[in-house]
Every structure is written in structure tokens, then in C-alpha cells.
Amino acid sequence: MTTLPLPMSAAADSSRIGADIDYELFLDCVHCGLCTSACPTYLELGTEMDSPRGRIYLMRGVVDQRLPLDSQVKRHLDLCLDCRACETACPSGVQYHQLLEPFRAAMQRNRPAAEQPLPGWQRWLLFNVLTQAHWVRWALLPARVLQALGLDRLLAASGWSRRLPDRLRQMQEMLPELPLRHRPLPNFFPAKGKRRAVVALLAGCVNDALFSATNWATARVLQLNGCDVWIPRDQVCCGALHAHAGCEAEAQSLARQNIEVFQRRSVDAIVANVAGCGAALKEYGHLLAATPQAQAGQRFAGKARDVNEFLMELGPIPPTHPLPLKAAYHDACHLCHAQQIRQAPRALLALIPGLQLTTLDEAEVCCGAAGSYNLAEPDMADRLGQRKASHLLATGARAVFTANAGCLLQIRKHMQSLPGRRWIAHPMDALWASYTGESPAILRKG
């Protein structure tokens, strides 16, 4: 097998794309190709340059100055979901995201406005509105009113919604059912019974606005399991969307703000119920490695926990109310691949009386959400969403659980046109229902 040459100069040129990447990370890849069968875009397209191995070839070629960073190279790299399934599959321990994310950051710094994957208005919406929960809530007010009055269904039936611009229509189609009024979380939930732990909860941005009931369920499940739960008012976005889009400086700024906020109180863990957010928190040490806050980032990351992971470490109180449903569990990429958490959510769901968890084909293959990917790459996102929906339909499950807000939106969008009714929810929603006996609508309506 041919080995690619080393860089042209031993001295790194700081102006060169990828010069800040540790070159040894490229050399970890032995080009075996075992990653290809795990890569969603390779599964769909079958092209080498749309596989992790192919993308590593491209990035290394640009760093070595053997390849120009032209539109074709950028296209192959833009099409990557950064799902990190390749890291799970790799026998050599290649840290693919530590190659892709800084390379994308360098691409972003040198990219003309005309070549941006998202149009300007959508980038502004993504990074200035969707990353601030209060602005998301205000932006969703018209949708809340339309849903409350039933006008959203009328507009869809009349075909009016199909007249919206494609990207705006895609965003509208992903909206879940929203309550007319947002019920904000209190700042503190005291532990029920003997206190077993003190935790801080990351409420999230889109998650807090679209899935506030899941945040309430999460806080109450932790509370019922003996945790004091603190929700800092001035917490900010975790920075995941910025980091994945190559906006490194913005992601670092958000990380510094969260570190300052969450260190005000001594806690046993900083808990997230969104896989992408939890993975971002655990990467703060890496994100801030070249900054004066490197050690603070590492300390923060050391306390970050996914809620499923934390509850299993704590030892959950078994729920008692039955949920007689056949259910499927989809592994969110940034839970199973980035955080290597697979069994904890399944183990929690297995505690619920009456819940029958079935096997899902390609459970660890990305559903196509991937942060802002379904906005930037709607065609590939739709292909992967339809692929996931077909596997879920084949299970015959009446409930679908996944531990990530983006996955919930994507799966709901692609399941709603299929025959049958399903409860699509977070494991914390299922646990809370089983703790309290508050049956989901699918059981109340038969």
C-alpha cells in the first residue's frame, strides 16, 4: 500500500489550511477501510471520497499542499455529518473529529460568503436565534398560535405550506407539537427523600424551546432519584452547532461563559439530556486546549455527564407504572459514538414495566439530523431520514425513543407520513410517565 509523503516543510506554516492540526493524527489512519461500512454518506453514495478514509486522504493532501482546496474537496468535506461512527468502527483509534473540526474551522475562515453551505439569513437564524432559547421561544410564537387554532393543519391540507421557500418549509415541517405557553424551569429542584447527589442541568437552547416538557421530566426524574437539581439562569448555548460548522472562536466564547456560570456552585455532575450538547461539554478541554482556559475546560469536561449515564452510575429507583408498548431505540450519534454510551438508555427503558424494547436495524447509523446538517444538506438528510424511518417502521414499534433533540425532530418529520401512530420521545419522558402513571397520548387514545 502506498504511503502518502510527509508535509513539504517540517516547519508548520501558520497560514496554511490545517497547519494547526497535529499531523500524527493523520498517520493514525492505516487506510484499512473498515470505517466505510459505518459511514452514512458512504452507505448512501458508495463513493470513496465520501467515506472517512477518503476525507482523510483529501485533508492530508491539502495539508501536504498536494491538493488544492477547491470546490470538489470542500463539497466532500461539507457532506460529512461529523457523526463519528467511523471512530467506533476504527481499530486504530483514529480521532476523526479532531481532524475534521479544525480543518472545517480553517475552511470557514477562508470561505467567501458565496460559498457558504447556508444562505446568510439561515446562518443568522441558526447562530443568533436558535442558540438562544428566549429568542427561539419568541420566534416560535406564530407557530404556537397556528397550532393552537388548528390553522397549521388547514394550511398543510390546502397546500399553502408547499409554497414556502424550500429551506423555510423544511424547518416548518420539523416542528413538534408546541404548547401555547412556555413553562420555564425553576432555578432549583430539591431532592426527594435522602439527598444522593447535587447536579447542575444544562437546559439547552432548541431543547428548552421545543422540548420543555422533556426538560421538566429530566429535572423531576433526577429530583425523584435523590438529586438537588440546579438550573443556572445565565447558562448559554453549549457551542456544539458552532464547533461543527467550523466557527471555533464562537464555540470557545460560549464554552468560557458556561464554565464561568457553572463553577459558581459545587456540584457532583453537570448533566445534559441532549446527546450533542453532552458531547460538546465533554469536549471543552479539547476545544480550549490552546487557550488560557485549558485546565478549566478539562475540569468542566470531567464533570459533564449524559443524564442516562449519570442515572445508571447513581443507581436508578425502579419505576412502577406500566407502559404496555412495543418500542424501538435509536442511538443518537453523539451519544453512542462521541460519548460511547449505548447500554445506559436501554437499561433505563428496560426498567419500565410492560415496555418491550425491540431490535432496530442500523440503530447506530445517523438519522440525518446532525446539528444543522439537515438545514445545510437537506437532500442527504432526507435520504438518511427516510432510511431510518423505514427501519423503524419495520419494527412495528408504537414508541420510538432517542436521547437527542435533533434526532427527535428528524425522526418525527420522516415518520409522520407513514401509516400508524407513534409516540416519539426521550427516554426521560418514558421514565417520568412510568414513575407517575401519566400515560402518553398513544395509550390514552388507544
At a CB cut-off of 8 Å and minimum separation 6, what does 272 contact? Answer: 201, 202, 204, 238, 278, 281, 304, 305, 306, 307
Name the class of domain 188-312. mainly alpha
Query: Across the strands, what pairs with 425?
Result: 401
Separation CA 89–CA 136 (nearest Å): 37
Amino acid at position 63, single letter = V
Residues 6+ apart with CB under 8 A from 118: 126, 372, 375, 376
Q: Given this model, what pLDDT does residue 122 score?
A: 61
- What amino acid occupies position 36? T
Q: Which of 207, 283, 291, 277 is nearest to 240 (CA)?
A: 277
Which amino acid, 208?
D
pTM of the complete model: 0.87
Residues of the chain with CATH 1.20.1050: 188-312
CB-based contact 239:96 (threshold 8 Å): no
The pLDDT of residue 7: 43
Pairs from 436-441 (Cβ < 8 Å, separation ≥ 24): 436/321, 437/321, 439/323, 440/323, 440/399
Residue 5 is predicted with a pLDDT of 42
Helix (H) or strand (E) holding 424, with range, is strand 423-425
Pick the CATH number of 318-444 from 3.30.450, 2.60.40, 3.30.43, 3.40.50: 3.40.50
Q: Which helix (H) or strand (E) holds 209?
A: helix 206-210
* Side-chain half-sphere exposure of 60, counting CA atoms within 13 A: 22
Q: CATH 1.10.1060.10 region(s) of the chain? A: 24-115
User: Minimal CA–CA distance to 61: which of 98, 103, 91?
Assistant: 103
Residue ranges of the chain assigned to CATH 3.40.50? 318-444
First-to-last alpha carbon distance for the chain, in angstroms, is 60
DSSP letters for 26-80: HHT-----TTGGG-HHHHHH--GGGSHHHHHHHHHHHHTTSS---HHHHHHHHT-
Tens digit of pLDDT per residue, the chain (446 long)?
334 444 443 334 546 787 888 899 999 999 999 999 999 999 999 999 999 999 999 999 999 999 999 989 999 999 999 999 999 999 999 999 989 988 988 887 777 666 666 656 566 666 666 667 766 776 666 666 666 666 666 666 666 666 655 655 666 666 667 676 778 899 999 999 999 999 999 998 888 888 899 999 999 999 999 999 999 999 999 998 888 777 888 899 999 999 999 999 999 999 999 999 999 999 999 999 989 999 999 999 999 999 999 999 999 999 999 999 999 999 999 999 999 999 999 999 999 999 999 999 999 999 998 877 877 888 999 999 999 999 999 999 999 999 999 999 999 999 988 888 999 999 999 999 999 999 888 887 64
pLDDT at 8 (0 to 100): 40
Residues shown for the chain = 446
Instruction: Tell me the CATH architecture of domain 24-115.
Output: Orthogonal Bundle (1.10)
Q: Are 205 and 132 in contact (CB under 8 A)?
A: yes
Strand ranges across the sheet with 227-230: 188-189, 227-230, 197-202, 269-272, 304-306
The per-residue pLDDT for 126 is 64
E strand or H helix that includes residue 306: strand 304-306
Kindly compute the dihedral angle of the four CA atoms of residues 178, 243, 283, 276, in this order, to the nearest 10 degrees. 20
Smallest Cα–Cα separation from 271: which of 340, 204, 317, 329? 204
Please give the radius of gyration of the chain, using alpha carbons only, rounded to the nearest integer.
22
pLDDT for the residue numbered 172: 62
Predicted pLDDT of residue 166: 61
